[in-house]
Every structure is written in C-alpha cells, then in structure tokens.
C-alpha cells in the first residue's frame, strides 16, 4: 500500500503528468463550488492513498483549466477520466459511491 495522495494538474502540466505518464492516470475534473465534487473528494483521496503505486490520481480544477474542460468536452462535474498511454480509456460522470467508483476503475488498479 502506498501513502500517496492525488496530484494537482494544470493545463501546463497536463501533457507531462497525464498524457506522458508511464502508468494509468485517473483525473478528477472538479470545481470549488461543486457540491457533488466535494462529496467524492474524500473517496478519491482514499483510493489515491491505497492505489497510487499502480495508478496516478490527479485533480484538475476546471475553473483554473478552461482549455482542458473545452478540449475534453467536459459538460458536467465531477467527471473522472482514465488515461492510459496518453489516451482516454474510460469516463465516469457524476458523484459515485466508493463501491461504484472502485468497480469502475478496478481494471486499472
């Protein structure tokens, strides 16, 4: 088990930290004003602590990264996108229970 937590990613660091990563990256697109985002944040951090040895957990504040929101066509938040080898391979939209979130990303853990 790792003691890692999620990393904050910006528009500038996204290509390096997400697209060029040598392991899968699960990106939580969120905003400070988003209630459902706040609901899943502790679950996301818990998953990051438990699995960051196999997967990178990243967070992008869409208010700070409008270009990424536009380019990835994120219409509602929270949106979780899994990137593997620089490509989007899975997406989850809306607040999820820990069990559902874990099940959705289990193949990458």
Active site residue 56: no
| Sign for the pseudo-dihedral over CA of 83, 86, 89, 92 | positive
Select which of 25, 34, 55, 101 is catalytic: 34
87-93 and 56-61 strand pairing: unpaired
By CB atoms closer than 10 A (0-12, 13-18, 19+), residue 4 is middle
Select which of 9, 37, 60, 65 is catalytic: 37
Active site residue 64: no
- Of 85, 71, 79, nearest to 31 (Cα)? 79
Q: Which residues are catalytic?
A: 34, 37
């Amino acid at each position: 088990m790792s003691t890692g937590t999620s990393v904050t990613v910006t528009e500038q660091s996204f290509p390096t930290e997400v697209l060029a990563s040598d392991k899968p990256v699960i990106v939580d697109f969120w905003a400070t004003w988003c209630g459902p985002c706040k609901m899943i944040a502790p679950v996301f951090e818990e998953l990051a602590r438990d699995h960051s040895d196999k997967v990178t957990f990243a967070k992008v504040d869409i208010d700070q990264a409008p270009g990424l929101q536009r380019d990835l066509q994120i219409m509602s938040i929270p949106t979780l996108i899994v990137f593997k080898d620089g490509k989007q391979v899975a997406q989850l939209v809306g607040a999820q229970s820990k069990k559902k979130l874990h099940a959705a990303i289990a193949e990458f853990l």
